[in-house]
Amino acid sequence: MIENKLLVSFVAVAEELHFGRAAARLNLAQPALSRQIMQLEDRLRVKLFERTQRSVQITEPGRVFLERSRRILSDLGRATDEVVRIAGGQEGRLRVGFIHSSTFSVSPPIFRAFRRAYPKIEMELSEMTIADQLIALENDTIDVGILRPPIANARLETAVLRDEHFVLAVPGDHPLAARDRVSLKELYDEDFVLFSQHNSPLFSTRTLSMCDQAGFLPRIVQNATQIHTILGLVSANMGISIVPDVAREVNMRNIRILQIEDNPPPVHVVIAWRSNDGSASLNSFVATARRWVEEQR
C-alpha cells in the first residue's frame, strides 16, 4: 500500500523537476525527500525519474503515474472535505416522513428553515400515515417522522411541535352550520365520518372517548385516512366529523368549522427519531425544528 505522503512528495518533484525546490515546497530535508522517492520506486518497481547531477527528468511511466496521483490526491481532498461537512451537519442525506395534515401547519415552515440553513443536505420526503412512520422508524427506512402520538416504542425520542385542538366539521347546509360553537351532546343522532383506527389511532380513540363522555356512541358511516378525504366526504353530506383545527387551513367548499364547547384536550404533533441515531444531519433537523417552535411562542 502506498502512503499518501509518498504521492504528495512524488507530485512535488514531478512538478518542480528539482529535488531542492520540491523539498523546500514540502518543508522537508532534501535527503528525506530523496529517500521517499526511492521508496516509492521500490514499491512500484518502476523508475519514475531520470536523475543526473544537473537535471531531473520524469520518465514515461512517471508521467502516467503523475496524472493518476494528481487525480487520487484531488479525490482524497474532496472526500475529506465532504466527510468533514457531513460530520458537521452541513452535507448529507435526511429521510423525513410526515403526515398529510402537517403540510397545513408545521411541515412547510420547518422544511423551509432547514433547507435555508442546510442547502447541501438532501431531503427525501415521504408522506406517510402514523402507522407507516412508526414501522419505518423501527426499520430504519426514515430518519425522522412528523406525526402524532401515541408512540409506544421506547427507542424513539420525541419533541412537541404543535398542539392541535379538536373542532367539528359540518356540511355548509347542515342545521348546525349557522352556529360558531356546538356541544358534543348535541351530536348523538348524527352520522360520523372519522379517521380510521389503524392509520390514526390517536384521533380514532380520542373521538370515541369524547363521544362516550358526552353520553353516546357515534354512528360511524365512513372511515378515512386523510383529512382532505374526511372533509370531502363531509362536504358531500356523508356525515359530520371531529377533526384537528388544522382543518381551518383546508380550503374546501360547503364546509363549516365549529368550535367544540366541551373543549377536549388538544393532541400533539411531534417529531420522532431513534434515540441511538447520532447523525449530524438528524441533529441539525431536530435543532431547526426546536428553533421554529421557540419562534412561535
Provide the CATH number for the domain formed by 91-163+268-296 in this structure: 3.40.190.10
Query: Looking at the chain, which residues constitute the CATH 1.10.10.10 domain(s)?
Result: 4-87
The highest-level CATH class for domain 166-265 is alpha beta
pLDDT at 201: 80
Cα separation, 267 vs 246, whole angstroms? 12
List, for residues 45-75, the tens digit of each pLDDT value: 999 999 888 889 999 999 999 999 999 888 8
Cis peptide before 149 (omega within 30 of 0): no
Global confidence as pTM: 0.66
Query: Looking at the chain, which residues constitute the CATH 3.40.190.10 domain(s)?
Result: 91-163+268-296, 166-265
Cα separation, 181 vs 260, whole angstroms? 6
Paired with 243 in beta bridges are 167
List, for residues 5-33, the tens digit of each pLDDT value: 988 988 999 999 999 898 899 999 999 98
* CA 129 centroid distance within chain: 16
CATH topology (fold) of 4-87: Arc Repressor Mutant, subunit A (1.10.10)
Helix%, strand%, coil% for the chain, nearest 5: 45, 25, 30
Mean pLDDT for 133-161 is 94
What order of strands is seen across the sheet that includes strand 241-244? 181-182, 255-260, 166-171, 241-244
> Which residue matches cell numbers 356523508?
238
List, for residues 244-254, the tens digit of each pLDDT value: 999 998 888 99
pLDDT at 78: 79
Could you give the percent of the chain with pLDDT greater than 90?
63
The region, left, alpha or beta by phi > 0 then psi within -120 to 50, assigned to residue 237 is left
Paired with 124 in beta bridges are 95
Mean pLDDT for 223-252 is 93
pLDDT at 91: 72
List, for residues 126-139, the tens digit of each pLDDT value: 999 888 999 999 99
